[in-house]
Amino acid sequence: MKRKNGFLAFVLAASMMASLVGCSGSNTASSAAAGQASDTPAASAAAKSDFPKKPIQIICPVKAGGDTDRNARSLAKALQKYLNTTVVVTNVDGGATVMGMQQCLNSDPDGYTLVVNGTDIFVPNMMGTTDINLDSFKTVGIPAIDNSTVLAVNKASGYKDLKDLVEKSKAKPDSIEYGGKIGATNQMCGVAMNTEWGSKLKFVDVGNNAAKVTALYAKQTDVINLSYSVAKDYFTSGEFVPLVLLGSEKNDLLPNVPLASDSGYKNVDFSKFFWVGAPPKTPDDVIHVLSAAVEKASQDPDFVADMKANYLTAQFKGEKEAQEYADNFYKETMLPYKDAFLKAQ
């Protein structure tokens, strides 16, 4: 009897020891996993969250057919791969992007409604037509930078280069019409050009990108600014001539388009960023999941190729970095022209 009890005690002790070793190994593995996850908080949040459970909507606050709409659809296509759900783009035009931004703010703050925008997010607030600004949202990220804004003329205009355009505008003030959309970033760009170059271009309201292209092609306006890709067929055919890149540095994808500084003028930077935001009360863990997906989308081969085909650079900036980048862009390239811009309204 004594030997039987002794054997039973041995079995129990061995069992307890195996259990302890197993728990120790499990805890060690968990600690290692936790250590790895702490290095990538967005990835950690994605692993813990069961978001998303249904389709996600991206509001594009301008009409279909422009570069913002195109970029939004390219991003949506890439995001579907990494969020494992349908991502649809809805165009909500009006109020210089205000209507689309407001619709996003009015939606449930659950991560299922996002909005895209760029420099136009600042203009309505600057004009005092809305309280909405960048800080009204939680920033998800920036997946791409658009350094392809050019000042373009019809080849029939005969303008040789930027200097030729500027000098002729000085000789006959307000005789050369710069077509754009009133109350938008391109109008501010006109103010900046006249301020920095001493040009005397006359701003004329012709409408959005599609309308600007039509007006320039029909010679109903003399000069416009727009992202190169919006009129790339006209540039390729030679019907439109890009006089200058409106940026602070060259675009390697547009090597033959000069900067203003190449003609002895100050560079006027009206490049753009492609920003993604969500309602302000969206939970942080959901924002992290979305941001992680946007980062993966920005590295997706198809998205990268699509951006490159349109002369953009796929370049991810995460939540805080993207917010700071957008804020600094506003302060450095837009705010200096605020007073002159408001006087022009």
249 shares a domain with 156: yes
Whether 25 has a pLDDT exceeding 50, the answer reads no
Whether 1 has a pLDDT exceeding 70, the answer reads no
The reported pLDDT for the residue numbered 132 is 98
pTM of the model: 0.84
188 shares a domain with 255: yes
Q: Residue 198: which pLDDT band, with cuts at 50, 70 and 90? A: very high
Residue 299: exposed, middle, or buried by beta-carbon count in 10 A (0-12, 13-18, 19+)? middle
Residue 266 falls inside a structural domain: yes
Cα 19-22-25 angle, rounded to 5 deg: 150
Residue 164 falls inside a structural domain: yes
Distance CA 173, CA 177 (A): 10
The reported pLDDT for the residue numbered 108 is 98
Q: Residue 9: which pLDDT band, with cuts at 50, 70 and 90? A: very low
Whether 23 has a pLDDT exceeding 80, the answer reads no
Tokens representing 184 are 């938008």
- Full residue range of the structural domain in which residue 333 is found: 48-147+272-342
Residue 5 falls inside a structural domain: no
Choose the final residue of a domain: 270, 294, 320. Answer: 270
Choose the final residue of a domain: 217, 244, 270. Answer: 270
The reported pLDDT for the residue numbered 137 is 98
Cα 108-292-28 angle, rounded to 5 deg: 115
Q: Do 134 and 121 contact (CB within 8 A), yes or no?
A: yes
Residue 1 falls inside a structural domain: no
Q: Do 96 and 184 contact (CB within 8 A), yes or no?
A: yes
Q: How many residues does the chain have?
A: 345
247 shares a domain with 159: yes
Residue 333 falls inside a structural domain: yes
The reported pLDDT for the residue numbered 27 is 37
How confident is the model over 250-285, as pLDDT tens digits?
Answer: 999 999 999 999 999 999 999 999 999 999 999 999
Whether 46 has a pLDDT exceeding 80, the answer reads no
Whether 11 has a pLDDT exceeding 70, the answer reads no
Q: Output the domain CATH number for residue 197.
A: 3.40.190.10
Q: Output the domain CATH number for residue 85.
A: 3.40.190.150
Q: Do 275 and 139 contact (CB within 8 A), yes or no?
A: yes
241 shares a domain with 105: no
The reported pLDDT for the residue numbered 182 is 87
Residue 10 falls inside a structural domain: no
How confident is the model over 88-104, as pLDDT tens digits?
Answer: 999 999 999 999 999 99
276 shares a domain with 128: yes
Q: What is the DSSP string of 169-186?
A: HHHSTT-SEEEE-TTSHH
Residue 263 falls inside a structural domain: yes
**Higher-confidence residue: 36 or 295?**
295
Domain count, the chain: 2
Tokens representing 240 are 């439109």
Kindly give the pairing relationship between strand 177-180 and strand 223-227. Answer: parallel
Rounded mean pLDDT of 213-220?
98
The reported pLDDT for the residue numbered 302 is 98
The reported pLDDT for the residue numbered 336 is 96
Choose the final residue of a domain: 270, 294, 317. Answer: 270
Query: Residue 56 half-sphere exposure, CB side, CA atoms within 13 Å?
Result: 32
Distance CA 284, CA 289 (A): 9
Residue 24 falls inside a structural domain: no
How confident is the model over 217-232, as pLDDT tens digits?
Answer: 999 999 999 999 999 9
Rounded mean pLDDT of 146-161?
97
232 shares a domain with 314: no
Whether 32 has a pLDDT exceeding 50, the answer reads no
The reported pLDDT for the residue numbered 65 is 86
Q: Residue 18: which pLDDT band, with cuts at 50, 70 and 90? A: very low
Residue 174: phi and psi, rounded to 5, are: 65, 10
Rounded mean pLDDT of 205-219?
95
One-letter identity of residue 12: L
Q: Is the peptide bond before 52 cis (omega within 30 degrees of 0)?
A: yes
